[in-house]
Amino acid sequence: MKTIVISLGGSIVASDGLNTDFMGKLAKSLEKMDRKIKFGIVVGGGSVARSYISALRKYGVNDNILDEIGINATRMNALALASFFEDANSRIPTTVNDAVEMSRIYRFTIMGGTEPGHTTDTVSALLAERNNSDILINATSVDGVYTSDPRKEKKARKIDALGYDESLVLSMKGLSGAGSNVFMDPTALNIAKRSKIKIFVINGLDIDEYKNVIEKGETTGSVIR
C-alpha cells in the first residue's frame, strides 16, 4: 500500500469563503483512484488564517499565538474537507505520529498544522517522509514554480523541472520579499531533498492535474527532484 501526500494550499480551499464546490469535486475524483493508494492531505489556513493573523498582528500579538491561531484555521479547513470524503477521519490529528496511526484506519487522513514555527508545507513533507512516499503533491494557487512571483512580475517564467538546490534558492529569494507567498517553504524542500521525495507543484484548482500526477507521473506544473 503506498501513500500519496498532498499539501493543499489554504488559498485553494478557503479564498473568499469556503470553496465547497472544489472540495466536493476533489473528493469525488480522489475516491475514484486505485484503492491500493492511501492519501494524506494536509490543508492550509487560507484567508481565515491570513485575516485573523494580520488583524491581531496590528495589536502586537505574540507570533507564537499567531501561529496557534493559524493552526486552528488549518484544522478547521481540514475538518471541512474531511466531511466530503466517505472514508476519512472526523477528528483532526494534531501530530504526524497521530496522522500515521489514523491512516491505518482510514483511506484518507486529513490534517492541518502541528506546532508553531512552520507551515503546512513542512507538515506535508514530514508526513510524506514518514510514510516513505516517493512523491509529494504541492497543490497551490499558482500553476508551478516561477523564476519570480508571476503575480507581481510580468517577466516571470515557469520552470518545468528543477533540482532541490535550485528550488531552495528560489524559495529563499521569495521569502525575502515582504508579505510574499512562496511556492513552498525551504524547510519542506530540505526534508524532500534529504529523503529524495519528488515534488509536483501543480495548479490545485485543476482537478485533472491530481490524476495526471498520480496515474501518469505527469504535470503541466513543475517537478522538483
Q: What are phi and psi of 14, to 5 degrees?
A: -140, 90
Report in angstroms how near the CB of residue 171 gets to ligand UTP at its nearest. 11
List of residues 6+ apart from 80 with CB closer than 8 A: 13, 18, 20, 23
CA–CA separation, 197 vs 14, rounded Å? 27
In the region spanning residues 113 to 172, those forming contacts with ligand UTP, defined by CB under 6 A, are: 113-116, 118-120, 123
Query: Residues with Cβ < 8 Å from 122, sequence gap 6 or more?
Result: 185, 187, 188, 191
> Looking at beta carbons only, is 31 or 149 nearer to ligand UTP?
149
Beta carbons within 10 angstroms of residue 135's beta carbon: 19
Q: Name which of 31 and 94 has its Cβ closer to ligand UTP.
A: 94
4 vs 127 by CB, closer to ligand UTP: 127
Residue closer to ligand UTP (CB basis): 4 or 53: 53
Minimum CB separation from ligand UTP for residue 122, in Å? 7
Using the minimum distance from each CB to ligand UTP, give the nearer residue, 116 or 150: 116
State the Cα–Cα distance between residues 76 and 1, nearest whole angstrom: 28
Least CB distance to ligand UTP at residue 216 (A): 26
Q: Which of 40, 45, 93, 186 touches ligand UTP by CB under 6 A?
A: 45
Binding to ligand UTP (CB under 6 A) within 2-41 occurs at: 9-11
H helix runs in the chain, sequence order: 10-13, 20-31, 46-57, 63-82, 96-102, 120-130, 164-175, 186-194, 207-211
Q: How far is the CB of 70 from ligand UTP (least distance, A)?
A: 2
Q: Which residues, 6+ apart, have CB-to-CB distance to 185 below 8 Å? A: 118, 119, 121, 122, 171, 175
Asked if 136 and 5 count as a contact pair (C-beta separation under 8 A), the reply is: yes
Identify residues 47-66 at the interface with ligand UTP (CB under 6 A).
49, 66
- Shortest CB 113 distance to ligand UTP, Å: 2
Q: Which is nearer to ligand UTP, 35 or 91 (CB)?
A: 91
- The contact pattern for ligand UTP, residues 67-86, with x = CB under 6 A and - = no contact, is x--xx--x------------
Whose CA is closest to 100, among 74, 120, 127? 127
Instruction: Give the dihedral sign, CA 23/29/35/40.
Output: negative
For ligand UTP, the binding residues (CB under 6 A) are 9-11, 44-46, 49, 66-67, 70-71, 74, 113-116, 118-120, 123, 181
